[in-house]
């Protein structure tokens, strides 16, 4: 949330921070398709977005006939607070990019105006769906989710795991990924670099080995999306 000039609490992955500013982020379906190589079949099955922030993925997937659920602890704050946070965050995100231009590449979006328009449209779709179908938006957080084993065909996780690897250690990541793999038959996580400088996650190899030992197939897959410099890979988890 813009206006909260502080480090984000670990309770809320919908609250993204860069250089001290906390943001409640909004991304649209086109961005999710590119980040996670989603196809139409992915969108018409059962889909979990965790932690979703103000993304419009669930709303747009639901229109296409999928059973989609978004999870973020910030939803517990109520629709009015979410709306205010999102409005301020759209402005804050624009300012952050201007302040740290060297950290971003524009090949996928083309230019700033296109990105800003996409984010604004996603925010509007999200808010409409949050008001009209609140049952699709669950206030919860990793590494414990209120869903049955195998409840979803696919779970996606954007800009939480690995992004905050300076604070969330290997053990926390392992718990979070095990939980995602418990509730979904397939898990995709993007990106694999840390916030700020885009540096690699130092414990990624160790984590992949741990996951393999738990009977999961873990693979790093290149994707067509890159905005934060160096962030163009996702982690894909499947049962072995």
Instruction: Look at residue 217 and tell me whether its pLDDT is greater than 90.
Output: yes
Residue 89's pLDDT band (cuts 50, 70, 90) = confident
Q: Averaged over 190-216, what is the pLDDT? A: 93
Rg of the chain over all Cα atoms, to the nearest angstrom: 16
What is this structure's pTM? 0.90
For tokens 């038959």, the residue is 185
pLDDT of residue 96: 66
pLDDT of residue 88: 78
pLDDT of residue 79: 92
What kind of fold does domain 15-239 have according to CATH?
Answer: Rossmann fold (3.40.50)
Helical segments of the chain, H only: 29-36, 40-44, 57-63, 79-99, 112-132, 170-183, 204-213
- 18-22, 31-35, 207-211: the lowest-pLDDT one: 18-22
Residue 87's pLDDT band (cuts 50, 70, 90) = confident
Instruction: Look at residue 11 and tell me whether its pLDDT is greater than 70.
Output: no
User: Which of 194, 201, 208 lies closest to 236 in space, CA to CA?
Assistant: 208
Looking at per-residue confidence, does 103 or 38 come out higher? 38
Name the β-bridge partners of 22. 17
The burial of 86, by beta-carbon neighbours within 10 Å (0-12 exposed, 13-18 middle, 19 or more buried), is given as buried
Domain limits, the chain: 15-239
Instruction: Look at residue 101 and tell me whether its pLDDT is greater than 80.
Output: yes
Instruction: Look at residue 22 and tell me whether its pLDDT is greater than 90.
Output: no
């Amino acid at each position: 949330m813009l206006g909260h000039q502080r480090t984000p609490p670990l309770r809320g992955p919908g609250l993204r921070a860069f250089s001290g500013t906390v943001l409640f982020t909004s991304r649209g379906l086109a961005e999710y398709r590119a980040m996670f190589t989603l196809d139409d079949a992915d969108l018409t099955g059962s889909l979990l977005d965790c932690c979703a922030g103000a993304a419009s993925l669930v709303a747009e997937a639901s229109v296409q006939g999928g059973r989609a659920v978004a999870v973020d602890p910030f939803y517990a704050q109520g629709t009015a607070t979410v709306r205010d946070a999102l409005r301020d965050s759209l402005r804050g995100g624009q300012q952050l990019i201007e302040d740290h231009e060297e950290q971003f590449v524009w090949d996928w979006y083309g230019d700033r105006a296109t990105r800003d328009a996409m984010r604004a449209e996603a925010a509007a779709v999200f808010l409409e769906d949050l008001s009209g179908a609140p049952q699709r938006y669950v206030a919860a957080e990793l590494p414990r989710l209120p869903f049955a084993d195998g409840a979803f065909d696919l779970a996606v996780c954007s800009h939480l795991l690995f992004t905050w690897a300076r604070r969330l250690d290997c053990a926390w990541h392992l718990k979070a990924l095990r939980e995602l793999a418990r509730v979904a038959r397939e898990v995709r996580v993007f990106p694999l670099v840390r916030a700020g400088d885009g540096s690699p996650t130092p414990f990624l190899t160790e984590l992949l080995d741990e996951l393999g030992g738990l009977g999961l197939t873990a693979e790093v897959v290149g994707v067509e999306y890159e905005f934060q410099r160096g962030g163009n890979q996702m982690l894909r988890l499947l049962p072995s």
